[in-house]
C-alpha cells in the first residue's frame, strides 16, 4: 500500500508520469513527424559563428504559449518510451543538429483545442536535418528507424492518424534529383502505407518554402503533383524565414503547426 501511495505522490508532483511507467494504452492518436530540418524544428536556433563554414549554434529556449507542454500530448523518446512532450521535440532524434521549435507542438495543441474529445495525442519524431529523399528510401536506416518507432508507438492500441511530412529542400541541389523527386516520394509514401498495413493512411505533405539549390520550383511542382489517395497538401511558401534563408522562424513554425492541424481536421 505504501509504495502505491508514494507513486501517486510522485506522479502528482510531476516527478513521474504515467507515460514513463510504460502505459502505452494512454495514447489514442499517433502522428508521425518525418522529413528534414524544418519539421525537426529550427525555430529559435541562433548561429553564433563569426565566419562562413563554421557552425556554432544554440537554441534560445523561448517556448511560446502555442508550443507549451500539455499532459494530453506525449512524445515517443529516442528510447521508445512515452514521455510528456516538450520542445525541442527532436532533441534525441536529430542528434547531430541543434534543434529548436518545430510545428509538432503547435499542431498537437491546436488539434486538442479544436477537438477536445480526441483523446491523448502521441507524437513520433523521426525527422533528421539535411536529409534527401534517397536517404529515406525503403530499406535505408532512416526509413527502418521510422517504421520501427511507429510500430513501437502502437503497442498499446493507439491508432496512427497521419504522417506529417516536410522534406525536399535537399533535393533542389541537382536537376536529376529534382526531376526524380515525384517518383521517389510516391514510392516512399506507398511503402510506408504497405509496411504499416494502412493502405489509406492520411499523409499531410508540406510544400517547401526554401531550397538548398536552384531547383526549388521543380520540387514544389513535383510535390503538388503527387498522385496518391488521402493526401493533403499544406504550403509553407510565404511563411517567415529566418536569417539563414533556410529555416522557418518560431512564429512561422507555429503558423505551420496550426495549418497542419486544420488540414488534419478538415474532412476529406
Q: What is the pLDDT of residues 28-52, one digit of tens each?
A: 999 999 999 999 999 999 988 766 6
Lowest mean pLDDT among 15-19, 68-72, 121-125: 15-19
Give the whole-number percent of the chain exceeding pLDDT 70. 89
Residue 1's pLDDT is what?
38
Q: Is the pLDDT of residue 16 over 70?
A: no
Cite the active site residues: 37, 244, 247
Higher pLDDT, 122 or 20: 122
pLDDT above 80: residue 107? yes
**pLDDT tens digits, one per residue of 219-238:** 999 999 999 999 999 999 99
Q: Higher pLDDT residue, 108 or 12?
A: 108
What is the pTM assigned to this prediction?
0.90
Average pLDDT, the chain: 91
The pLDDT, as a whole number, for residue 27 is 93
Provide the b/e sequence for 169-199 (b: ≥16 CB within 10 Å).
Answer: bbbbeeeebbeebbebbbebbebbbeebeee
Q: Binning pLDDT at 50, 70 and 90, where does residue 55 land?
A: confident
Q: Which CATH superfamily does the domain covering 24-265 fall into?
A: SGNH hydrolase (3.40.50.1110)
- Give the chain as a 3 state SS string: CHHHHHHHHHHHHCCCCHHHHCCHHHCCEEEEEEECHHHHCCECEEECCCCCCCCCEEECCCCCHHHCCCCCEEEECCCCCEEECCCCCCCCCCCCCCCCECCHHHHHHHHHHHCHHHCCEEEEECCCCCCCHHHHCCCCHHHHHHHHHHHHHCCCCCEEEEEEEECCHHHHCCHHHHHHHHHHHHHHHHHHHHHCCCCCCCEEEEECCCCCCCCHHHHHHHHHCCCCCCEEEEECCCCCECCCCCCECHHHHHHHHHHHHHHHHCCC
pLDDT at 51: 67
Lowest mean pLDDT among 53-62, 88-97, 167-176, 241-250: 53-62
What pLDDT shows up at residue 26?
A: 86
| Proportion of the chain above pLDDT 90, given as a percent | 85
Predicted confidence at residue 35, as pLDDT, reads 98
**Residue 193 is placed in which grid cell?**
502505407
Q: Above 90 in pLDDT, residue 253?
A: yes
Buried b (16+ CB within 10 A) or exposed e, 7-39: eeeeeeeeeebebeeeebebbbbbbbbbbbbbb
Instruction: For the chain, give every domain's residue range.
Output: 24-265
Q: Check residue 20 and give its pLDDT.
A: 42
Q: How sure is the predictor about 21, in pLDDT bands with cuts at 50, 70 and 90?
A: very low
Q: What is the pLDDT of residue 32?
A: 99
Amino acid at each position: 500500500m505504501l509504495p502505491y501511495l508514494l507513486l501517486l505522490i510522485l506522479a502528482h508532483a510531476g516527478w513521474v508520469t504515467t507515460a514513463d511507467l510504460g502505459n502505452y494504452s494512454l495514447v489514442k492518436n499517433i502522428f508521425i513527424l518525418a522529413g528534414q530540418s524544418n519539421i525537426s524544428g529550427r525555430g529559435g536556433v541562433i548561429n553564433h559563428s563569426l565566419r562562413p563554414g563554421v557552425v556554432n549554434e544554440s537554441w534560445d529556449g523561448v517556448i511560446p504559449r502555442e508550443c507549451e507542454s500539455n499532459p494530453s500530448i506525449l512524445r515517443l523518446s529516442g528510447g521508445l518510451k512515452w514521455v510528456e512532450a516538450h520542445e525541442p521535440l527532436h532533441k534525441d532524434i536529430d542528434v547531430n543538429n541543434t534543434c529548436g521549435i518545430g510545428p509538432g507542438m503547435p499542431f498537437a495543441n491546436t488539434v486538442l483545442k479544436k477537438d477536445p474529445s480526441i483523446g491523448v495525442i502521441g507524437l513520433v519524431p523521426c525527422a533528421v536535418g539535411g536529409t534527401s529523399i534517397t536517404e529515406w528510401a525503403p530499406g535505408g536506416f532512416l526509413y527502418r528507424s521510422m517504421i520501427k518507432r511507429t510500430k513501437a508507438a502502437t503497442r498499446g492500441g493507439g491508432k496512427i492518424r497521419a504522417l506529417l511530412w516536410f522534406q525536399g529542400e535537399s533535393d533542389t541541389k541537382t536537376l536529376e534529383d529534382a526531376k526524380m523527386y515525384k517518383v521517389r516520394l510516391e514510392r516512399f509514401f506507398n511503402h510506408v502505407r504497405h509496411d504499416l498495413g494502412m493502405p489509406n493512411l492520411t499523409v499531410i505533405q508540406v510544400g517547401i518554402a526554401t531550397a538548398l539549390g536552384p531547383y526549388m520550383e521543380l520540387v514544389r511542382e513535383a510535390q503538388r503533383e503527387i498522385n496518391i489517395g488521402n493526401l493533403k497538401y499544406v504550403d509553407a511558401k510565404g511563411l517567415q524565414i529566418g536569417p539563414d534563408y533556410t529555416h522557418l522562424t518560431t512564429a512561422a513554425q507555429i503558423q505551420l503547426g496550426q495549418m497542419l492541424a486544420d488540414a488534419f481536421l478538415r474532412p476529406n
